[in-house]
Amino acid sequence: MTESDRIPGAPSGVLLRPGVADLAVYVPGASTGVPEGVPIVKLSSNEGAEGPLPAARAALEAEAGELYRYPDSQPLVRAIAERRGLPEEMVTVGPGADMLIQYIASAFLEPGREVVYAWPSFVSYALTAQKQSAHATTVPLRGDDVHDLDAMRAAITERTALVYVCNPNNPTGTYVSRDALRAFVDDLPEHVVCVVDEAYAEYVLEDDYPDVLEEYVKAGHPRVAVLHTFSKIHGLAGLRVGWMAAPAWLVDASVRVRGPFDVTSAGLAAAMASIAEEDALRERAEANARRRESLRARLAAAGVESTGVANFLTVRVPDAQAATAALMRRGVIVRPLNAFGSPTQIRITIGSDADMAIAAPIIAEVLGAGA
């Protein structure tokens, strides 16, 4: 059987690369399935609750007349670099943090190479390793759902090119502290690059949460990179903009494997306007924390424990699919963590005030009843 026989509808004889049919397809959080007439609250994809900031909307409109031109990502690179006090050579942007993960994989991974990451964690580390035919070594989270950094260190071999630390971790919302990360990074062998994924960093208000850009990248660590995104607190997931701060050599390597003009001018314009809105972003983080802690307290009162310091809470349930279906019948769409390898956890995104006014009582009632 050739590869084309394994992809439905592919004409026999076309020269698909062996293994393409084995690649897993990313499954996004559900957005439908609620019975007709029931108000829908979508809390399944960890999207920013409030949407784009007014400044980003205005910038997007202003950009409309310029869309005939190819995009220039350098002004956004420069703006991020200036804001964070880094040279431009240490910053790059990409079409979502997701694609930056792909660029890193393209630059480092090939058959025979290994990548180490925690599990459950963000599925893109797995999907991109698979695309490169590299070996993924997954290290189970500790019992408290935090990265087991000792076991991750022990899993590194001389073939390990990359190690990911997802901080806070998607899907458990747990985080690695400043001291724990320092001890881990200090002990990494010299051939290993550590990529810290801070997609949700802006939501985290904990004092011992590390700032990897400041503490490692700016401090000159030669093998630590940090990923950020405009998809979460900035509310721009649909525009696909992420960025990376890293040693200049690593930015250089990732730029070599990217496509030309990979970030759209609409995305660049909106992101540029959004990063300047520091006060509004801080307010969003504080409002998210209030809503998150209110849901956590409601769940605790119903006898349900939850974890998470970002814009989502993760809850253990007897059966994730059954709990998701029970909530879906009441109009609340959450994410079962089966695809993350955890059939007894669900992840609940913290929505807007209006979302949570509807959803929080339903979630506490349904999960408190043992669903």
Question: Under the rule (CB under 6 A), what is the footprint of ligand PLP?
Answer: 46, 96-98, 122, 166, 170, 197, 199, 229, 231, 237, 242
**291 vs 335, beta carbon nearer ligand PLP:** 335
Distances (CA, A) of 139 to 104, 146, 345: 20, 11, 18
**97 vs 139, beta carbon nearer ligand PLP:** 97
**330 vs 347, beta carbon nearer ligand PLP:** 347
| Residue 296 Cβ vs ligand PLP, minimum distance, rounded to whole Å | 20
Q: Which residue blocks in 241-337 are alpha helix, DSSP H?
A: 248-257, 265-275, 278-301, 320-329
| Residue 170 Cβ vs ligand PLP, minimum distance, rounded to whole Å | 4
Among residues 41, 127, 93, 85, the alpha carbon closest in space to that of 360 is found at 41
**272 vs 326, beta carbon nearer ligand PLP:** 272
**60 vs 371, beta carbon nearer ligand PLP:** 60
The count of other CB atoms within 10 Å of the CB of residue 199 is 24
The count of other CB atoms within 10 Å of the CB of residue 104 is 27
| Residue 46 Cβ vs ligand PLP, minimum distance, rounded to whole Å | 5
| Residue 19 Cβ vs ligand PLP, minimum distance, rounded to whole Å | 24
Distances (CA, A) of 268 to 3, 71, 85, 151, 302: 38, 8, 20, 39, 44
| Residue 26 Cβ vs ligand PLP, minimum distance, rounded to whole Å | 10
The two tokens of residue 334 are: 């959450």
Q: Whose CB is nearest to ligand PLP? A: 96
| Residue 67 Cβ vs ligand PLP, minimum distance, rounded to whole Å | 21
Among residues 237, 239, 168, the alpha carbon closest in space to that of 209 is found at 168
**97 vs 326, beta carbon nearer ligand PLP:** 97
The single-letter code of the amino acid at 361 is: P
